[in-house]
A and B are shown apart, each in its own frame.
Chain A
Amino acid sequence: MDEKYSSNVISGGKLGRVETPDARLTRYIVLLYFTKLLKAFGIFESYDLLKVVHIVQFLFILKMGCAVILVFFQKPFSSGKMIPKRQWIKILKHAVMSCVISLLGFFGLTLCGPLRTLLLFEHSDLVVISLLSVLFTSSGGGPSKTRGAAFFIIAVICLLLFDNDDLMAKMAEHPEGHHDSALTHALYTGIAFLGVADHKGGVVLLVLALCLKVAFNTASRKLSVDIGGAKRLHALSSLVSAVVLLPWVIVLSATTESKVESWSGLILPFAMIIFSVMILDFYVESICMAKLETSRCARYGSIFLFLSGLLLANFWTHPLTDQLRGVSKSVQQSSTEHVLSGGVLVSACFFIMADSILSAPSSKGQKGTLVGYSPEGTPLYNFMGDALQHTSQSLPRFIKDSLKQILEEYDSRQIFYFLCLNLAFTFVELFYGVWTNSLGLISDGFHMLFDCSALVLGLFAALMTRWKATRIYSYGYGRVEILSGFINGLFLMVIAFFVFVESVTRLIDPPNINTDMLTPVSVGGLLVNLVGICAFSHAHSHGASKGSCSGHDHGHSHHGHGSGEHSHGGHGHSHGGHSHSHGHGHSHGSAGGGMNANMRGVYLHVLADTLGSVGVIISTILIRQFGWLIADPICSLFIATLIFLSVIPLLKDACEVLLLRTPPQHEKDLNFALEKIQKIEGVLSYRDPHFWRHSASAIAGTIHLQLMSDVVEQRVIQQVSAVLKDAGVNNLTIQLEKEAYFQHMSGLSTGFHEVLTMTLQMESMKYYKDGTCIM
């Protein structure tokens, strides 16, 4: 249905695929359906069998039977080329891995029951690979794949959380001694260590086994080509795995007594399982792979399997089916096991949807980058770039590089160290909270984590500031710092708002507070934050000294401490006081815009946290000493107001910069400079003087000057830029216009309004000329 709407053939990715008519494929689909039904039946039966037969024995019998049949049909020894010794070793590895995976799968089956195993374990490789590519790579393949992945995850979560399996309680009281072997015992202890119920442990186990299976299948593809076909490999591998399992089975049957009364009664069900699960499924799948497409085969296969699983789960415990079943002894006990629940139904629906979406052929094709437009106006794409540019960096190298970058500069280093300290404190708090099961500690830990996001933002901004200018960021990334300061200011406003609302509700209805745990935590937080305050205020003074000696490159100014004190006092500091410090002689035009907005934001954040800790300590003391429960909300009200007031100057400054205001510290200088410019020989007038602070270190400016027609422009440019550089503008563009320019322009311009404005400008020029004439 998509084809109709994707007009572009290449971007649709539909090139070269020819749809075969459905009618011819119907028989394969029907065949697939019956195979899957039989497979589901076999798995249900093997669940029953596994209750009496030990899992290793079971697996051995399966592999053995499978190997016998496959060797008979495929004749791997007589046909095909000889297999060298090296490849036998590979086959041995293959066999061992396949044994491990099947063991895990069947163990999961004993834990979760057949239906859930079907839902979790029986996905085709295609589905899992596209799921993983959505989750772990950036090019997942469009929104539909993302949706499919989300459905898959929701389905797994449904099985984990909402599936009230009756057996769960029963399994939980399993005596440890019940387990038959060391293997199952180890697995059980592993699951118990994870702290989940057996049933949920089974779900986790099956998901892991599924991933393993897919990885194993992908890895064994090359081997199967070397050996000469997947079928030959399969035959040889099952033979080898039967041989591998043989000693273990012998030891097992020698040491433990079997629960099976008569092996002869189990021959039929075993044959059934071997035929349906191992042989038929394998052959039919390979046929369907060849005839249908892989994606269709995967989609139909999994959907049929899930549907038949649901069907069987509904009727398995029904008395009618008892007659059909080979094993009839465990009927009475299994009647309550692993029944259908709402959670399973929902998750089955989600699994079916996820499979059908994820196994759909990827429609993304290649993602071209737009390079331009053809003369006809159709967009042109570049398909090459994507494949060439993606040289993925290895993770450790990336971490090393970014760490190096962070530690290079003072600001980011400070933020990074403090972030580490904060995170360490947070995790200690969280772990201790979980350990002692104290909810207050946990929630405080989350709060700290929430605060850390501001630090992360600041760190990131401090890193980004140093990036080189690009085509899009033509002035460089310096402004990111200001934007990050602004966002941090907003963040603090939000925090202040929430604290305010919370304290108002508490003021109305003061709750009882348990103060036992509060004091050590808040003292710890206070200590951490005090360290932060020291570090950051030190950073400012450091920056100031650096800024004053190294001229242009840094925007820190000398009032870092001052602002800290001011915000302690809770009122903003004004810039008016120190704009005088800019004498005319000294060359640094960058200092004075307040300290770097980013650092200011981070600093205020730390300050707010400190205030919070102090408030908690004070209110705890008051509550302990005097029993004033009202002290807590009043404290938080006070803190909220303080935060709010201290943020306002930061926000105001950041807003001014973002709105391209003429920098207030330079206003006087600039006005002076403009007056001076007008006095330059040959300059008639100026228009559109724009001066704005771009970042902490850059002040940009543009100005248009009208000149008399007989001056040399380049000389005027030199003079004007010297004057403006003295005023602090370091990114300057001057447009010099003589009368000839307006004549040219009025000749060139076509529109009514342009002509009008041009003539007006010419008029004004004449006026100025008259003025100079009179002078």
Chain B
Amino acid sequence: MFKIIDVLFFHYICNEQRSSTASSVLSVTVFQSWRILLFAVLNLICTACLLMWCSSTNSMALTAYTYLTIFDLFSLITCLLSFWVTMKKPSQVYSFGFERLEVLAVFASTVLVQLGALFILKESVERFVEQPEVHTGRLLVGTFVALFFNLLTLLSVKNKPFVFVSEAASTSWLQEHVADLSRSLCGLIPALSSILLPRMNPFVLINLAGACALGITYMLIEINNYNAMDTASAMAIALMIFGTMYPMSVYSGKVLLQTTPSHVIGQLDKLLREVSTLDGVLEVRNEHFWTIGFGSLAGSVHVRIRRDADEQMVLAHVTNRLNTLVSTLTVQIFKDDWARHSLTSSTLPTGSLSLSEYVTSAAFPPVMSKQHDELNLATSTPAKPSSPPPEFSFNTPGKHIQPVVFQTAHQHRPFNAPLSYGMPPYSSMLNQGFAHPSDGPAMRLGFGVGARMPSVQGYRTVNAAPHRYGSSLPSSQTGQQRP
């Protein structure tokens, strides 16, 4: 009764929150979208203007700079898409939702602008063969219009996906050089450090650098009539575009390729090691972890357990460990030789039957195995008298036990020996799992079993505390609902 009220209360709170936030988010989103549309229209006008000036000045560098404006248009479209994505629910065919559309849009726009830069490079090489005259009339005007407009768009529109990518991706060479220069500048004038030392926005940087290149071009053409400078600065701008966009397209491309993000590998390894030290777990394999959109991690993993271990318990613990990092998680628990096990425990030789036969003939469930399972559930994992106490014993531990176990495990991990910290311990652990496949809790000492002794004890003491949601469900209730 008490529980039902609780649940209703939760329901209510949640629903209310969802509806209120949804409506407010919606209105804000609509407003934002209109603003972005306005900017996109402005951008189109500006781009058209610039393209006309490009053909009238015959300047390659200005064309290259115009591509940055076109890129801004793409980024605005991406922003719109990301608004649309937040409103869209996963459909049946797109079961992961549309978050990846954002990633795809970022990838496509960075790749498109890089292809444009490639085109510029090709044209400039052709121009080195024969340099046409460049008219400087509109060059500076075009530069300043484009610069102003780009900066306006960059600074006034809050472009979530691109901001994320530009922060998450590795630094471009342009950023590295600017950071290096500003560091040595800060050595001379320390007061500047608050402005110069933080990571520069790559888009602002490339816009400024391109404007500088165009300014120099203008000066040289005006003063010395060096028309070749136009081609040179077009190449420079194209190279800068490559440098800026390449890390971003690599980052988003890796998301699209369903790779494990390298920055979470350390954490994941830690968690997987923890999982593999759980009682009953023999090995962890087929682990696939990847990001759905920007940020949320999805993954699937196969866990091989001992024949006599409780699958649901292990599943719950594994899920609980990994859930902190992986939001969309699927864990498959499997046992070797499960057929033999069930044969010994149950009277029915169902293991040898094929699928259809099973469906038709096995109308009645194996009663004995059910009892066996229940026995397991009640008595927790059996610790054999000959074996040392298990590393974690499962009896639906309370919420406050988690940190205790974690810390003791933490202290005895070889953190202080950084050389051996990478892959080898993990794989050796796997090998260990391979080496003692069947039922060897006695041999599965891992590291620091002695250290875990107190943790087990501490757990036992805490265990006496009442659990609100855990074992509060009476077993009679489950018994009732069974058909």
Contact = CB atoms under 8 A, between A and B. Distances in A.
Interface string B466-483: 010111010000100111
Given A471-B423, A473-B259, A773 B483 contact: yes
A216 to B, nearest CB: 33
A704 interface: yes
A483 B119 contact: no
B111 A372 contact: no
A710 B369 contact: yes
Contact of A659 (B7, B101, B130, B411): B101
A766 B471 CA distance: 17
Q: Quick one: which of B265, B316, B470 has the most chain A CB within 10 A?
A: B316
Interface string B381-398: 000000000000010111
A381 interface: yes
A769 B14 CA distance: 25
A64 B402 CA distance: 86
A91 B254 CA distance: 57
B258 A748 contact: no
B187 interface: yes
A148 to B, nearest CB: 11
Interface string B249-280: 00001101111101001100000000000000
Contacts of B116: 494
Contacts of A217: none
A463 B415 CA distance: 38
B330 A709 contact: no
Interface in B337-387: 338-339, 342, 346, 350-351, 355, 358-359, 362-363, 365-366, 369-370, 373, 377
B326 to A, nearest CB: 12
A708 B483 contact: yes
B431 interface: no
Size band of the interface chain A makes with B: 35 or more
A5 B253 contact: no
B257 A371 contact: no
A142 B290 CA distance: 31
B122 to A, nearest CB: 5
Nearest to A663: B93
A740 B313 contact: yes
Contact of A735 (B188, B331, B467): B331
A471 B260 contact: yes
Nearest to B361: A681
A667 B470 contact: no
A692 B101 CA distance: 15
Contacts of A712: 338, 342, 346, 350, 366, 369
A487 interface: yes
A147 interface: yes
Interface string B310-328: 1111011101100100001
A161 interface: yes
Nearest to B262: A472
B7 A759 contact: yes
B19 interface: no
Main secondary structure of the interface of B (DSSP, over half): helix
Given A733-B301, A735-B315, A746 B187 contact: no
A736 B396 contact: no
A162 B232 CA distance: 13
Interface string A672-703: 00000001111000001111101000001011
Describe A's contact surface by its main secondary structure.
Answer: helix
Contact of A769 (B7, B119, B481): B481
Contact of B316 (A1, A709, A723, A741): A741
Nearest to A745: B316
Given A380-B418, A733-B286, A744 B301 contact: no
Nearest to B336: A714
A260 interface: no
A443 interface: yes
Interface of A: 1-2, 4-5, 142-144, 146-147, 161-162, 342, 370-375, 380-382, 384, 439, 442-443, 446-447, 449-450, 453, 471-475, 479-480, 483, 486-487, 490-491, 493-494, 498, 505, 655, 658-662, 664, 667, 679-682, 688-692, 694, 700, 702-704, 708-715, 717, 719, 722-723, 733-741, 743-750, 752, 754-756, 758-760, 763, 766, 769-770, 772-773
Given A736-B333, A746-B470, 6 more contacts: A147-B177, A382-B419, A472-B265, A486-B108, A690-B95, A722-B355
20 contacts: A144-B180, A371-B419, A380-B415, A447-B122, A658-B100, A667-B93, A681-B358, A690-B328, A692-B95, A709-B482, A712-B338, A712-B346, A722-B355, A733-B301, A733-B302, A734-B330, A736-B315, A740-B310, A749-B320, A769-B483
* 7 A-B pairs closest in CB distance: A747-B470, A1-B187, A744-B316, A733-B300, A714-B338, A710-B370, A702-B330
Interface of B: 6-7, 10, 14, 55, 92-96, 98, 100-101, 104, 108, 111-112, 115-116, 118-119, 122, 125-126, 129-130, 173, 176-177, 179-180, 183-184, 186-188, 224, 226, 228, 253-254, 256-260, 262, 265-266, 286-290, 292, 300-302, 310-313, 315-317, 319-320, 323, 328, 330-335, 338-339, 342, 346, 350-351, 355, 358-359, 362-363, 365-366, 369-370, 373, 377, 394, 396-399, 402, 410-411, 415-416, 418-419, 421-423, 467, 469-471, 473, 478, 481-483
